[in-house]
Amino acid sequence: MSRSAEVICVGTELLLGEVLNSNAQFLGQELARLGIAHFHQTVVGDNPTRIKRAIALACQRSQLLIFTGGLGPTPDDLTTETLADFFQAPLVNHPEILEDIARKFAQGNREPSPSNDKQALLPEGAQVLPNPIGSAPGIIWHPHPELTIFTFPGVPKEFHRMWQETAVPYLQLTDWVTAQIYSRVLRFWGIPESTLADQVAPLLALTNPTVAPYASKGQARLRISTRATSQETAYQVITPIEQQIRQICGLNCFGADDETLESIVGNLLQQRGETLAVAESCTGGGLGQRLTGVSGSSTYFLGGVISYANSAKRDLLKVNTADLEQYGAVSAIVAEQMAAGVRSQLRSTWGIGITGIAGPEGGTETKPVGLVYIGLSGPQGTQSFEYQISPLRGRDWVRQMSTSHALDRLRRQLLAEQP
């Protein structure tokens, strides 16, 4: 008989849409990676009767139940006591949990409240699933031999840590994990998902490894996956296909897995011993935020100017007044002067300038919402690039896409000029 896992997320706030249920997405990805069958997910509010119904249904069809949420100290945190009641198991006090909570609170010059006492009560026979960074421990429990139950707090940072440090090793030591699914995700910019799929069409028919396209936030991606008993074996299968795709797609493939445009650009600048400064208008500091989000970026990112008003463009970046009047702030020549100006002012190797109309107001027939110019200034001179970004997804989308286009333009220039 095949076995499967089931995810049960507890919390009325999830049902009301007040909190995004990222835990369910994370578990879906992790169970797939571990090769554990997973056919059902349930979201249930903080109500013991409904939680028991969810447990009863899950026990009929699944052998590994994974709960998130409902482990806190407040009266509406009901997961542990409801599980104990459902399986008619007494709750047992664990003094070591209270000691751990007191120690963590002391680090913040606080003291636990009496309500924290309930977090030390676990069903008889349950093993403590430690929480390294929060007050709510989970459990690993076998109410009967054919059923395994995990509980985790709903706070994603705590849950992820507990899953990786305790749950995954536990599953790997049991017969739940025999062969895992290993994947490499290739990331693309400057090519639509449909065009990418056409270019690699023969590879999409492969069965081992499989190649699947998908898109997110303007990026196109290809996931190459295989089932294997070790990472080394998996990548012997994945690597030749990855190399083939990179050869087909060239510079449109900017990275893999957790790499981002900003991290790739940072690595290239660091390798070359070069620096970058940015001048932003419509993106309002968004490009600088992305660059400084990469650890170690201070070695190559010197800073930026948010030149929203024309006066800031003139006074801080030395943009020509006549050009502003003749061509307008949203123009190729102004983007170029912004890039050159910030490069000169901050004495960086490279300068980027971004100016555009993010909307929803401000567009005209000749300069519609979504029109963006990106200036790029470097050792070989200054140039500009025009983009018409769809305004249908709103102002934030135009701004996000603008920063991505700017990073991609610099990336391509750095690669083109490699010695």
Specify the CATH number for the domain of residue 206. 3.30.70.2860
Q: Are residue 164 and residue 73 in the same domain, yes or no?
A: yes
Q: Are residue 165 and residue 205 in the same domain, yes or no?
A: no
Q: Are residue 197 and residue 251 in the same domain, yes or no?
A: yes
Given 148, 173, 198, the domain boundary residue is 173
Distance CA 152, CA 163 (A): 8
Q: Check whether 384 has a pLDDT greater than 90.
A: yes
Q: Are residue 114 and residue 227 in the same domain, yes or no?
A: no
Q: Check whether 123 has a pLDDT greater than 70.
A: yes
Q: Are residue 128 and residue 11 in the same domain, yes or no?
A: yes
Q: Check whether 104 has a pLDDT greater than 60.
A: yes
Given 119, 139, 173, the domain boundary residue is 173
Q: Are residue 353 and residue 298 in the same domain, yes or no?
A: yes
Specify the CATH number for the domain of residue 117. 3.40.980.10
pLDDT at 108: 86
Band (pLDDT 50/70/90 cuts) for residue 419 is low
pLDDT at 418: 67
- What mean pLDDT comes out for the span 138-147? 96
Distance CA 268, CA 302 (A): 15
Cβ atoms of residues 302 and 342 within 8 Å: no
Please tell me the pTM assigned to this model.
0.81
Kindly state the percentage of the chain with pLDDT values over 70: 99
Q: Check whether 115 has a pLDDT greater than 60.
A: yes
Distance CA 212, CA 222 (A): 5
Q: Are residue 215 and residue 97 in the same domain, yes or no?
A: no
250 Cβ neighbours under 8 A, 6+ residues apart = none
Number of domains in the chain: 3
Average pLDDT, the chain: 96
The pLDDT tens digits for 282-295 are: 999 999 999 999 99
Tell me the residue range of the domain where 209 lies. Answer: 180-256
- What mean pLDDT comes out for the span 60-68? 97
- What mean pLDDT comes out for the span 214-234? 92
Band (pLDDT 50/70/90 cuts) for residue 1 is low
Q: Are residue 280 and residue 227 in the same domain, yes or no?
A: no
Q: Hey, is 207 helix, strand or coil?
A: coil
